[in-house]
Structure 1
Amino acid sequence: MGAGLSGLLVAELLVIGSFTGFLAGLLGVGGGMLLVPFMTFLLTQKGFPPEHLIKMAVATSLATICFTSLSSVRAHHARAAVRWEIVRLLAPGIVVGSLLGAQLASRMPARGLAIFFAAFVGVSATQMLLDKKPKPSRQLPGTAGMLGVGGAIGLLSALVGAGGAFLSVPFMVACNVSIRHAVGTSAALGFPIALAGTAGYVVAGAALPDMPAGTLGYLYLPALLTVSAASVATAPLGAWAAHRLNVKQLKRVFAGLLYVLAAYMLSRGLGH
């Protein structure tokens, strides 16, 4: 049924949260792609139910974004980098898509979810490694189109426990939104993705009889509190370092790490 919240587990969660928070500030990516594999590995070692632990890791990753996105969007808003009219158009679809994504994930076999996560992270790592920026080629679609795009972003983000930046930023840049505004607006979109996705996982796991102590649905509360506190503390350090280090080279190293994590999740999905 899983181990209790030991001092060692708290320390391990603090390390994971500090690492993901720092990288989020340094490279401008959400911690979900790092947090989900690391937490899956950690909860596996602690004896949590294998049929639930990947979904617990995804749900907990989404919930941490609720906290980290607030501090991020405040900083971007202060620099007038958030296009709130885009947020208003995308947010309804994002909420619906995130809720549906959580329900879909709860019904997927754990192996299938692990394989899907591995594929998503592998594609994201390749995108980061190539560092290709989409060329502005069109304008933002109308209300119906924005609703559909928001739904797709929310659905995929809820399935993998991410804040959606790898999807929303390229979309906005391709629609002639400046990269500065695309990144700031994506930070604002992270909150409705995380809030709706978390709510979906809480509801989806609420009726399960064999969940470990400390859970709310699929949400593992001790990890949420510990990881959020650590990541919020270290994200500003990452942002500070981003202005003093060669971020392009660091992105290549990070892409390599993502390939390793994708391989780990794929191995879990394939049962090896």
Structure 2
Amino acid sequence: MLMELLSYAAVGIVAGTIAGLLGLGGGLIIVPVLVWLFGHQGMPEAFIIHMAVATSLMTIVVTSVSSITAHHRYGNVIWPDFGKLLPGLMLGAVGGALLAVNLSAGTMETFFACFALMMAARLWLPALDVTYTSLLNWLPSSLYGVFAGILSALVGIGGGTLIVPYLVTASRAMQQAVGTAAACGFPIALGGGIGFMLFAPVSALRDTGWTAGLIHWPAVLGIISTSVLFAPLGAKLAKQLPSSVLKRIFSAVLLCVDLYFFLR
């Protein structure tokens, strides 16, 4: 058990540093590493990816609180925007978890790899210089919230990679978009985590006393114990590196994730 906890703490160090350095929520790093660790720990092969996604979401529930507090302090969270997205995010996250538990491990891994590949490709595409303020109305915000919640729950992320571009296109400043997206990470992670606890199939449950549904609590505790400490280190490094270098690092990390899942 001690070695397992130390390995999870190491995951938190890597995820926290990269999250601070690249602006990733950590899920795109935590999920593939947990898949590798769970595989070596004898977890049920058919549910390893599901457990990794569920566990990643639960770590975001905790780590997002400090991020929300910081962004709120600087006035970067637009709470009315958050309120319009909130119902859709919660509904979508719970629905995404329900969908995930009914997908095979192979399908989940392929979906995750394709998502990471799209995120890497999007980084090199020119930003669209258009704005649609109507996206901040209740109906489009709610519908997009459902979409973002489902997709985020399927891949174990806080949704920042989906919500930031949406809010920027809706005319919000980048700082406001990032701050509001950070706030959105909490309901996504909470709804998805609850979904993975409620909808976990009986065949996936392990009688260890350390799991709740598909969430592996030792991994949650180990990851959050170090990720919250090392995220500021990544943020400090980000200030010292040019954006072009960060872009290359981001792409390289995501391409490594793709290769891992496609070669499994």
Q: Which amino acid aligns with 2:254?
A: L
CA apart distance, 1:96: 0.1
| Match 1:17 to one of 12, 15, 38 | 12
1:29 is matched with which residue: 16, 24, 27?
24
In structure 1, the residue matched to 2:241 is: 245
Residue 12 (structure 1) shift: 1.4
Counterparts of 2:37 and 2:243, CA distance in 1: 29
1:96 is aligned, of 78, 88, 91, to 91
Give CA deviations for 1:139-167 in whole Å, capped at 9, x if unaligned: 14321211100000000000000111111
Corresponding position of 2:141? 146
Match of 1:108 among 100, 103, 108: 103
SS at match of 2:190: helix
RMSD over aligned CA atoms reads 1.4
Task: For residue 26 of structure 1, report the CA deviation from its aligned partner.
Answer: 1.6
Q: Mapping of 1:155-166 within 5 angstroms?
A: 155-166=150-161
Structure 2 vs 1, CA of residues 263 and 121 (structure 1 numbering), >3 Å: closer, same or farther? same
The residue that corresponds to 1:261 in the other structure is 257
1:217-256 aligned at under 5 Å gives the runs 217-256=213-252
1:118–1:262: 8 Å Cα contact kept in structure 2? yes
State the partner residue of 2:130: 136
What SS does the corresponding residue of 1:144 show, helix, strand or coil?
helix
**Unpaired stretches in structure 2, ≥5 consecutive residues:** none
Fraction of identical pairs, as percent: 37
3-state DSSP class of the match of 1:9? helix
Change (3 A) 1:217 1:250: same
* CA displacement, residues 104-155 of structure 1 (integer Å, 9 cap, x when unaligned): 0000011001000000001011223x16333232114321211100000000
The 1:14–1:49 alpha-carbon spacing in structure 2 relative to 1, beyond 3 Å, is same
Report the residue type matching 2:40 in the other structure.
Answer: Q
Q: CA contact under 8 A between 1:82 and 1:185: conserved in structure 2?
A: yes
Mark the CA change 1:48 to 1:70 in structure 2 (over 3 Å): closer, same or farther.
Answer: same
How has the CA–CA distance of structure 1 residues 120 and 212 changed in structure 2, closer, same or farther, with 3 Å as cutoff? farther
**Equivalent residues of 2:88, 2:146 under 8 A apart:** yes
Within 5 Å, which residues of 2 pair with 1:48-197? 48-128=43-123, 130=124, 132-141=126-135, 142-197=137-192
- The runs of 5 or more residues in structure 1 that have no matched partner are none
- Deviation string for 1:235-259 (max 9, x for gaps)? 1221222222224302312211211
TM-score by length of 1: 0.92
2:171 alignment partner, SS class: coil
CA contact (8 A) 2:205 2:214 kept: no
Instruction: Return the letter of the residue paired with 2:179.
Output: G
What secondary structure is seen at the aligned counterpart in 1 of 2:240?
Answer: coil
Normalising by the residue count of structure 2, what TM-score does the alignment of the two structures yield?
0.95
